[in-house]
Structure 1
Amino acid sequence: MSAGIFRACLVVITAIVNHPLLFPKENATVPEYAEDIIQKMKAREENLRLEQLRLEQEIAGLEAALKAGGSVEKPTETEEQHIQEPLPWDLWSAMSMIIFLLIELWRQDFQDGHWQDSACEEDDMAVLGKAFKGVALPDKAALANFYERCILGATSDMARMRELVEGFADDLLEALRSVCNRDADMEVEESIGVGSVYENWRVHKPLVCDLLVPFTPPEPYRFRSQTWCSRESVPPDKQGYGTIKVCRADEDAAGCICGKTKLGEDMLCLLHSQTGQTKRSGEVEDLLCFKNTQYLDADQVMKWFQIAITKAWNKISHKYEFDLTFSLLDSPGALKIKFRSGKCIAFNLTPVVQCEDSDAYFISHFPRNNLPADPASNTYWFVTFAVYERRFIQSISKKLPANACHLSCLQILSFLHGKQCSLTGPSGLSNYHLKTVMLHLLQARSYQDWGPENLEARLQDMLKFLEKSLQEKKLCHFFIGNRKVPAVLNFPVMFQKAEPLNLFRPFVLHRDTYRKTVDTFHEMLRNTVALINEY
C-alpha cells in the first residue's frame, strides 16, 4: 500500500515540476512530433486501462465468492503473488504520458487565448536573448567619424555655457540670501554642479546645467535625516528614499533643564541664547513641514524656493540684458534665460538637504516614474549620489588611457536611444540607466580595455549588459550595496552595506512599460546602422 502511494505521489510531483506554466523557461515549447507521441501514449493508456479492468473483475469475483460463503479454491502461489503485487503500472511510461497530456492541455489553452499575457512576456524574453546577435554595428572607423562629426560638434560650447550659468547662479543665490530673513527663513549654501553637462557626456540639446542648492534651517533648528537603511520608520517599499525631520538643535543637550523649568524674566540659560528661547516657543510646522508633522514637505519647499528666486531676480534684474522665467511650474527651480536675440539657456536650481555629513543629498521632486503619489509622499525625499558619481568618473578618468572611449560609448548610446525615442515614443529607459551601465563596466573591466581603439568593442559590451539587464528586469544602482566602491571617494558605509537597489523594479510592477521599453530597445538595435549613417 505504501509503495503504491509513493509511486502515485512521485508521478504527481513529477508532473507538477514539469508543468510548462510553472516553469516556462524549461518547458516553454512543445517537443517536436508531439502529436505522434501523444497518440502512442493514448494507446498505451488504453491498454493499461483494460489491464486494470481485468484485474478489478478478478478481485470482484473473489470478493463475491467469499460473501456467498462458498468454498473458494485457494489460489496458487503464482496467482496470489500476482494479486498482492501493485498494479502493473510502468512508472516511467505513466510519467511521460501525464507530462505530454499536460503539454497538450497547455497548447489548447494557448490557442484559445488563455495566458496571453504570460506567453507574450515569454516571447519577449526569447527574442530579447537573441536580439543583439543579429545586429552588426558599424566598424571602428565609421563610429569614430560619426562621433567626431555629430557628437563633438554638439558639445563644443558646453564649457562656455557652464561658466555663464555658474556665474549667474552665484549672483542669483547671493541676492536670495539678502532678501531672506536670516532669523526665520531657510539658509542656502553654494551651488554644486552635477549631471551629464558636468560629466562631459550630454549630447542632446538644449544643454541643461543641473545645480544642487543645499539649504539649512535657521537657528536653533536643524535637520535630522532618516534613510531607509538607517531607520525603521521608513517603509520597506520606500527603498532609496528617506525623511527629513525638523527638530531643535538643543533637543539632545544632556543635563539642561531650561526647557522644562520656568527660569523667570531675569534669568538666562548659559547654554541657550534669548533668541533660541524665543524661537523654541514657535511652531516647528511653520518651517516648511507637512501638515501636523515635523517632517519636511517637498511641495512646501518648492513654493518657498520659487518665491525666494522671484524676489532675488527682481532685485538684480536691472544688471542683466535678458529675461529669466520658470520653464516648469511643477519643478522648484527649472529656469530659462532668454536673450533679446531669441537664444535661450535652460538650467535647474534644485534645493537639496545634506544627508548626515556626507556628499549624498535628499532631493525634492525627483522623477517618480509617473506613479500615483499617496498623500504622505511629499515627506519622502529621494537620496541622490550625483556628487559621488561625478567624483568617481573624474577619478577613474585619470587612470584610463589617453582619449579613453568610456564617455564616447555613453554618448553614442545616449544619442541612438534619444533618436529612437523621438521616432517611436518614450520608453522606460533613461540616460541615468545608460550611465549606470557604463559605471558598472568601468569597475568590471581593466583600465587598458578603454583605449580609443576599443570603441566598438566597449559599445558592444554596453549593449549586451543592457540587454541582459532588461531580460532579468534587474539593474542595480552603482553605489547602493556596492562593497567595491573606491575608498578614496569616502562613500558612506551605511549605503555600501545596504541591500542593492534595483533601478528596473518598475518594470516588474508595470508590464506595459516593460514591453514598450523592450520594443524600443529592439528597434534601436535594428536601426543602429541606419541612424548612424543618417546623422
Structure 2
Amino acid sequence: EVHNSRDSDSEESEEENPAEMNMVWIFSRRFQLSVPKLASRRRVVQELLSDLLRVSHRLFSDSFFPVLEPAIGVGSACEGWSPHKEEDVVYCMFVPLKPPPGHAFHLEPDTTGDVPQTSMRVRVELVCTCTGEQNTLCFLHHSEEELKRYQVASLLYTVCTGPYLDVEKIALWFQTFVISAWSVVPQSCHYNVQVLPSSRSCKMKLTKASGRSLFVETIFGVQQGDSDIFLSSQPTEARLPPSTTWLESYAVAEAKFFRHVARQAPPRSCHLKCLRLCARLLEGSGFSIYALKTIVMHLLTLIPLSEWQHGYLLLRVDDIMSYLRCCLEEKQLKHFFFGNEDMPEEISLPPAFQGAQPLNLFQHLAQDPAAQAEAMQEFDKL
C-alpha cells in the first residue's frame, strides 16, 4: 500500500480554511482535488486480499496450483493520487505467482510476432522432488497410475495450455475460488461480492448494505529474477494478447518508487496533488496518464524534494506541463526504468535495464509528423 500521509495532511488543512482564496485554493477547487478518503478503503482492500490469500493457502496447500504471494497495491488509487471520483476508483492489487513444489517457471521471449518485444511466455517445467524433505509424489519419477490413485494433477493439467502458463485459466481459477471462499472471509459480514466478467484478471464489486460500492481488480504476475519488474496478466489498452502471453509490467517498481518518495518528501509535499491536478488538466485529451506519470517520476528525481512543499504546487504544475510540451517538441519521452542513472538504489531492476538505451514513449510521434503536429495543437488547447 502506498499512501503519503503528508500529502493528505495538507488537504485536511485546506479543508479547515475554505476562505483562503489564493491561486492554490482556486486550482484545487476548480479541479475538484479534495481527495476521496482513499486510505481507509485501501486498507479494506489490502485486508481483503490478505484474508483471501490466507484461505487459498489453506485450501490449496495439498494441491499443485500456483502459490499466491502477498498482494501489492499498484496504480493511482494505491499510490495515493487517483484523479477519479470516489465511485469510479478501482483499487488494483498485484498478486505475484510462484511455482508449487515439483514445478519451475522459465521465462521465454514471445515469438508469435503479434505483440511487442516486452511480452514473454512462462514455460512450466516439472522438477524432481524425490530427494526433497516433503513426502510428495514426484511428477517425473512416479507412475501415472500412482498419481491418479492419489488424485494428484500437475500445474500442466490445470492452468496451462501446452507447457505454458495460461493467463485466462489462472483468472478463471481465482474467480471461482473467490466465489467459493467468500463466505469464510470476515469482509463477507459487511459486503456482498460480485465477480465481474474479466478474462485476464479478477474484478470484484463489493457492495455494502447502504449501497456503497468498492471496485477491486486483482491482476497476476511472474517476477523477473529478483527484480521489481514482473510479467503481468494485465493487457494493454491497444490489444488483447494470446492467453499464454504475459506483458512486462513496471507497476510494482512504480509503486515502490512512490513509497520511496513518500518517505523522503518534506511535510505537506504536493507531488501527489500535482499528479491529480495535471491528470484533470489532461482529461479528455489524447495524452496518456502513463506519460504524465512518467514525467512526474522524472521530475521527482531532477528537482530536490525540498522544493515539492505545498507552496511550490503551481510552480511544479508549470514544470510538469512545460516538460510535457518539451517532450512533444522533441518527440521523445524517456521511459523511467531504462538507462536511468537517477534510479533510487532500493528499486531492483534486471541488469539489462541499467545499461539499456531508454525506450521512447513518444516514438509514434517521431515516426509520424502529422501525429506530432496534432499533439502540439491539442496541447495548446489545454
Q: Same fold (TM over 0.5)?
A: yes
| 2-structure distance, mates of 1:479, 1:302 | 28
| 2-structure distance, mates of 1:143, 1:362 | 40
Change (3 A) 1:325 1:150: same
Aligned residue number for residue 91 of structure 2: 209
Match of 1:353 among 222, 234, 237: 222
Match of 1:162 among 42, 47, 72: 42
- Specify every segment of 5 or more residues in structure 1 that has no aligned partner in the other structure, as ranges: 1-139, 252-268, 422-426, 526-535
| 1-structure distance, mates of 2:245, 2:72 | 22
| 1-structure distance, mates of 2:344, 2:221 | 25
| 2-structure distance, mates of 1:359, 1:473 | 28
Q: Contact between 2:223 and 2:230, CA under 8 Å: does it hold in 1?
A: yes
Change (3 A) 1:321 1:516: farther
| 2-structure distance, mates of 1:194, 1:141 | 33
Aligned residue number for residue 336 of structure 1: 205
| 2-structure distance, mates of 1:296, 1:506 | 32
1:390 matched to 2:255? The reply is yes
1:405 matched to 2:270? The reply is yes
Supply the AA of the counterpart residue of 2:157. D
Q: Contact between 1:151 and 1:411, CA under 8 Å: does it hold in 2?
A: no
Supply the AA of the counterpart residue of 1:193. G
How far is the alpha carbon of 1:463 from its aligned partner?
Answer: 0.9
How far is the alpha carbon of 1:202 from its aligned partner?
Answer: 1.3
Larger Rg: 1
Q: Contact between 2:222 and 2:230, CA under 8 Å: does it hold in 1?
A: yes
RMSD: 3.3
| 2-structure distance, mates of 1:286, 1:428 | 44
TM-superposition CA deviations, 1:102-157 (whole Å, max 9, x none): xxxxxxxxxxxxxxxxxxxxxxxxxxxxxxxxxxxxxx9323343268645333x1
Aligned residue number for residue 463 of structure 1: 321
Query: RCO (CA 8 Å, sep 6+): is it higher in 1 or 2?
Result: 2
Aligned residue number for residue 146 of structure 1: 27
Aligned residue number for residue 194 of structure 1: 74
Supply the AA of the counterpart residue of 1:248. L
1:288 matched to 2:159? The reply is yes
| 2-structure distance, mates of 1:236, 1:482 | 29
| 2-structure distance, mates of 1:372, 1:318 | 32
| 1-structure distance, mates of 2:60, 2:155 | 18
Supply the AA of the counterpart residue of 1:238. P
Q: Contact between 1:176 and 1:309, CA under 8 Å: does it hold in 2?
A: no
Change (3 A) 1:297 1:312: same
Instruction: Select the structure that is richer in strand.
Output: 2
1:313 matched to 2:191? The reply is no
Secondary structure in structure 1 of the residue aligned to 2:332: coil
Q: Provide the TM-score with structure 2 as the length reference.
A: 0.79
Aligned residue number for residue 277 of structure 1: 138
Aligned residue number for residue 63 of structure 2: 183
| 1-structure distance, mates of 2:187, 2:349 | 43
Instruction: Select the structure that is richer in helix.
Output: 1
TM-superposition CA deviations, 1:167-223 (whole Å, max 9, x none): 222222223334436323222122111222222211212222211112223220021
How far is the alpha carbon of 1:356 from its aligned partner?
Answer: 1.4
TM-superposition CA deviations, 1:406-426 (whole Å, max 9, x none): 2222111012222xx1xxxxx
1:454 matched to 2:312? The reply is yes
Secondary structure in structure 2 of the residue aligned to 1:325: strand
| 1-structure distance, mates of 2:221, 2:329 | 35
TM-superposition CA deviations, 1:475-497 (whole Å, max 9, x none): 22201232331223333322222
| 2-structure distance, mates of 1:178, 1:287 | 18
How far is the alpha carbon of 1:504 from its aligned partner?
Answer: 3.1
| 1-structure distance, mates of 2:133, 2:59 | 27
Aligned residue number for residue 366 of structure 1: 235
Q: Contact between 2:66 and 2:155, CA under 8 Å: does it hold in 1?
A: no
Q: Contact between 1:360 and 1:385, CA under 8 Å: does it hold in 2?
A: yes
Q: Contact between 2:102 and 2:139, CA under 8 Å: does it hold in 1?
A: no
Change (3 A) 1:441 1:145: same
Q: How many aligned positions are there?
A: 350
Supply the AA of the counterpart residue of 1:275. T
Supply the AA of the counterpart residue of 1:332. S
Aligned residue number for residue 497 of structure 1: 355
| 2-structure distance, mates of 1:270, 1:447 | 53
**Pairing of 1:4-19 with structure 2 (within 5 A):** none
| 2-structure distance, mates of 1:306, 1:241 | 24
Supply the AA of the counterpart residue of 2:219. T
How far is the alpha carbon of 1:435 from its aligned partner?
Answer: 0.9
TM-superposition CA deviations, 1:418-473 (whole Å, max 9, x none): 2xx1xxxxx54332221111011112223343233322222112112112323444
Match of 1:239 among 103, 112, 117: 117
Change (3 A) 1:432 1:467: same
How far is the alpha carbon of 1:335 from its aligned partner?
Answer: 0.9
Match of 2:281 among 408, 416, 425: 416
**Pairing of 1:21-36 with structure 2 (within 5 A):** none
Deviates more, 1:339-348 or 1:470-479: 470-479
**Pairing of 1:30-45 with structure 2 (within 5 A):** none
Q: Contact between 1:354 and 1:361, CA under 8 Å: does it hold in 2?
A: yes
Secondary structure in structure 2 of the residue aligned to 1:443: helix
Q: Contact between 1:227 and 1:243, CA under 8 Å: does it hold in 2?
A: yes
Change (3 A) 1:396 1:175: closer
